[in-house]
Structure 1
Amino acid sequence: MSIYKLANTDNWFGRTSDKQLYLHEKVAFTNLNEPFPATTNTTIALLGYSSDEGVRRNLGRVGSSMGPDAIRRQLGKMPNHLDDGTQLLDFGNLECNNQNLEELEKECTNAVSHLIKHRTTPILIGGSHDLAYAHYNGLLQHIKPKEKIGIINFDAHFDLRSNTNGNNSGTPFYQIAIDHNKKGQSMKYMALGIRKDANTKNLFEFAELHKVNYLYQQYYNMNYLEHVQLRIIQFLEDVDYVYTTIDLDGFSSAYAPGVSAPSPMGFSPDIVIESLKLIIESGKLVGLDVVELNPKYDIDDQTARLAASLIHYVIHKI
């Protein structure tokens, strides 16, 4: 069994008001193991994936297990522009027990399915990118047989490594591709910000074989905005729903120094915001996560602030 911990309310703080002007005054706390609270037309469910076991197995810099709470500490201080009919619920954290990553993934899948069943929009905060396999499978349980769910991954890496020696932060989309192959289906996967210096040639070969829709980092910037928008629109037209995952190590380390695999050669926040705008306006977004924050290496909470700002944008846009 993984370890489930309720949210620590001390991680939500900031200026105070009598009008819920800040998110720490808006958020409510609840428990996955108790009867689900009454929800509104728009209910956002935060769930932390407090594990860096996948990063450890993938030979990265450990520390992302502290990511979820670091994001909460920045998000709570931000202004609240949500209307009264929108709920923001914090369901706490799932933690890896005895390095049993596979068990954690199963329980995370069940948790996401539970959140979807009760008509919430799950936003997972991590934590290593292996959570993508769990998140996707939880969403998939609620997709009808003839419907298609696409994946849009903001990342420098394909994360298509083989899991022959066990699951890790570099294997989630390989696992999804293999699962779909066993069913005679194809994975619908778009990766934005891919770098040649971050992926081996066999990963590119696997991506081509499985018809992964990807865009190189050098073309994923505001200078190519119209091209980026067209590629995203074309992808969105071919699916019924979209699961979106943002790996913070895809950003340049100028914006995100506190990650498991930093590089100065990444993308910038402005193009990501423009991309998220299109995804959300399509009405097809069913789940989102932000992963690979490593507070151990962050500078002035810069990366945590970036993660929180992205979540702030999404919850107000939906």
Structure 2
Amino acid sequence: MLAYYQPTAAGTWQGRIDGEEPDVRRWHQVIQPVNISHHPLPALPAGRKGIAFLGFACDEGVRRNKGRTGAAAGPLALRRACASFPVHFGAHALVDAGDVVCTDGQLEAAQEVLSATVQHILQAGYLPVLFGGGHEIAYAHERGIRRHSGAQQPGIVNFDAHFDLREPDAAGPGSGTGFWQIAQERAQAGQPFHYLALGIQQNSNTPRLFQAAETLGVQYLPASLFQLKYQERLIGAIQAFIRQNDNIYLTTCLDVFAAAYAPGVSAPAYNGLIPDALFLDCFRTVLRSGKLAGADIAELNPAFDADQRTAKLAASLVFEIVMNYYSTLAV
């Protein structure tokens, strides 16, 4: 594990300070960095919840997918964008468990470490919230949840312009193959593959990928449905999918959003989703289901992020995850 793990560097979490009183504290003042290669995650007091952030500083999958590399720097940028958020969750625990890194091109080895670390976080009683990195994070994250869940295999909700159902080519598995890999492993184990993709773009997926989605029984809602007149249909489909599953793995690829809001991704989309109230209703429907087993944000690429727009958008999604998990956000 040590070759693919790095604790978060001292001084990473910095931001505005208004005082040390509980009602003015910010995330950087309360987060607990833990080097999990040396120390276990702190035990949670009775009645308290905990979230563990874990970075996946890797874009080897993006490179194999012939995309714009740079997402390996995403976890650091996302931590910095989150640092000054105000604390609205009282004494619940917020932990930074460091990064799984991939500096030698051995994606599969790094993914194995990520899966094992996710499993460790869940066993300690924390919710894993992962900062990517390329969308190759999905295969490893879901596998860690699956190993922990046993008979209760997670349903997958993916906000994404792409299905990511390609079969690996000579370059090997990458950022576009994760859900195909999951489907194959589920089939080999005799387990169902429940996958809901939200925000799919016809101009970003080949007919072969649409056929793969049909063959594998994937449910999807295209980006064109994200209009207020289809709100009931969207929310109803998400709620129905949640009811079919014991728990939910939520992953968000930032290229699902329009490039004006998310320029810092591998594959920006001029006509992607707008992160407005309709999107948040859909996102919060998953978060407030009581079934969340893990969540991640993928494809943040600071090298192309004008005015840190993408990092700030990603941070706002992390804020939603944290606040809804701790059940203190007013409806």
TM-score range, shorter chain: over 0.9
Q: Among 146, 155, 169, which residue is 1:150 paired with?
A: 155
Structure 2 residue aligned with 1:27: 31
Structure 1 residue aligned with 2:260: 254
Deviations 1:176-195 (A, max 9, x none): 01111112333100000001
User: Does the 8 Å contact 2:58/2:103 carry over to 1?
Assistant: no
How far apart in 2 are the matches of 1:262 and 1:74?
20
Structure 1 residue aligned with 2:287: 280
AA partner of residue 300 (structure 2): L
Deviations 1:251-303 (A, max 9, x none): 00111011111011111112332122111221000100001000000011110
Deviations 1:213-257 (A, max 9, x none): 000100023332111100001101100000000000110011101
Does the residue aligned with 2:113 lie in a helix, a strand or coil? helix
User: Does the 8 Å contact 1:186/1:210 carry over to 2?
Assistant: no
Deviations 1:143-189 (A, max 9, x none): 232x3410000000000010243110000000001111112333100
Any gaps of 5 or more consecutive residues in structure 1?
none
How far apart in 2 are the matches of 1:5 and 1:94?
6
How far apart in 2 are the matches of 1:3 and 1:238?
36
Any gaps of 5 or more consecutive residues in structure 2?
326-331
AA partner of residue 170 (structure 1): G
Q: Return structure 1 stretches of 4+ with deviation > 3 angstroms.
A: none
Residues 1:314 and 2:318 aligned together: no
Q: Among 204, 224, 238, which residue is 1:198 paired with?
A: 204
How far apart in 2 are the matches of 1:62 and 1:265?
22
Structure 2 residue aligned with 1:298: 305
AA partner of residue 83 (structure 1): G
Does the residue aligned with 2:80 lie in a helix, a strand or coil? helix
How far apart in 1 are the matches of 2:201 and 2:294?
25
Question: How many residue pairs get matched?
Answer: 316
How far apart in 2 are the matches of 1:191 and 1:167?
20
CA RMSD, 1 decimal = 1.2
Structure 1 residue aligned with 2:4: 3
Q: Which moved more, 1:58-67 or 1:276-285?
A: 276-285
AA partner of residue 302 (structure 1): R
How far apart in 2 are the matches of 1:56 and 1:144?
33
Deviations 1:108-134 (A, max 9, x none): 000000000101000000000001010
The TM-score, its normalising length taken from structure 1, stands at 0.96
User: Does the 8 Å contact 2:4/2:113 carry over to 1?
Assistant: no
Residues 1:102 and 2:108 aligned together: yes
Give identity over the alignment, percent. Answer: 40
Deviations 1:81-140 (A, max 9, x none): 1111x1100011111031000000001000000000101000000000001010001000
How far apart in 1 are the matches of 2:62 and 2:188?
27
Does the residue aligned with 1:78 lie in a helix, a strand or coil? coil
AA partner of residue 301 (structure 1): Q
Residues 1:67 and 2:69 aligned together: no
User: Does the 8 Å contact 2:160/2:254 carry over to 1?
Assistant: yes
How far apart in 2 are the matches of 1:307 and 1:237?
27
Deviation at 1:15, TM superposition (A): 1.2
Structure 2 residue aligned with 1:241: 247
The TM-score, its normalising length taken from structure 2, stands at 0.93
Does the residue aligned with 2:155 lie in a helix, a strand or coil? strand
How far apart in 2 are the matches of 1:44 and 1:82?
11
